[in-house]
Structure formats: C-alpha cells, structure tokens
Structure 1
Amino acid sequence: MKTSQLVGLFALGIGLVQGVHAAGDPVAGKEKHEMCIGCHGIAGWRTAYPTVYSVPNLGGQHADYIVAALKEYKSGERGFATMRAMASGLSEQDMQDIAAYYSGGQ
C-alpha cells in the first residue's frame, strides 16, 4: 500500500473518531435530574432560586453548554463547592443525559 493511501486512511479514521459524540438520552436524564431540581427548580413550585442565590434555570439551555459546565465543575475549573460535589459523581454519559433532558426545555 502506498504511503499516501495509508496517510489518507489514517486521516479518515481520525475524522471518524472525532465525529463520534456521546448522545444524551432525555428519558435517562429525567431519571438522573432529581439531584438538580432542589436548586434548579421543581416544575410548579416557587423557590428562592434563582432570584436570591443566582442559580440559573437550566430548562432550554444548550446541551453542550451544560455538559461543558458540569465537566468544569468536576475538574475544579469552576469553584462553586455545591456544584463541584454534585458533578464529582457524574459520568460522561450522566452529563450527556442530564443535558439532553434540560435542553429539551424542562
């Protein structure tokens, strides 16, 4: 096999791997979001959040933003202790699922 063909196949393989993105499951996210609703809102309930404590409403937020934020909390890049604790036990798939649920406008 020619070197140029090998390079082409390698580049194609890299492109395919980079194109793979874990898809979140909003149904699974609904099951996993219970730890979030105390601060980020329970449908039909009035809480002090976000008015008093500046906690954002996650419903309708972009999934990529939610995943990025959760990763930053988990890694310590974002410093809010409560969110760091919440994110510390989440897997990549958990983050994707929760993000899919909230990005649907919940």
Structure 2
Amino acid sequence: MTVPLYQAKAEFFKTLGHPARIRILELLAERDHAVHELLELIAIEPSNLSQQLAVLRRTSLVVSRREGGEVVYSVSVPEVRDLLLAARSILSGIIAAQGELGDELSVRRA
C-alpha cells in the first residue's frame, strides 16, 4: 500500500522539526562539513549531534563519506537550500505582518 503524498510530506516536515537538524542542514547547504566542524559550530553534545545526523541520514537528506580519518557530511538533495530559504522568507513575512498588526493596535489605543 502506498503512502499518500500528504502523509509523506507530514513525515518529511517532522524530520525537520528539531532546531539542531535545521542548523545542521543550514550549515551543510553552505558546504560540506566534517563532524568536528559541526560540533564547533553548533552548541550540542557529540552524542546528540550523532543522533540528529542519524535521523537526517535515515531520511536521505544527508550523506556521509570518509576522508582520511574524518567523516564528512553533505546535503544529498540540493533543493534543501531552497526549502530553508523559503522558510526564512515565510517567517519574515509572518513577523512583518505581526509587526504591522502590533503597530495598528498601538495606533488604535491612542
């Protein structure tokens, strides 16, 4: 039995539902990173980083490879960058609209 598209999308967005996974994807969308680099850039325990990378690997959003003694991660789907930029744009629009509503409410109180 096939999974309906809306259900697959919901599962996909659940994968993105952790701040550390979003930050990992943001960094990997810029360039490939070794694990030690990710640890330096994200305030997270090594075991938690490992867990979050495992989730992203299981969903095929990232891939890993060995380079010398290091494990290097990269985004496997280039469109992830577009998705992250779209999320930023959507959030900017929401914040701007809320700001305008707040401004309007402040004017009406006067």
Normalising by structure 2, report the TM-score: 0.30
Higher relative contact order (CA 8 A, sep 6+): 1
Q: Scaled by the length of structure 1, what TM-score is found?
A: 0.31
Give the structure with the higher percent helix: 2
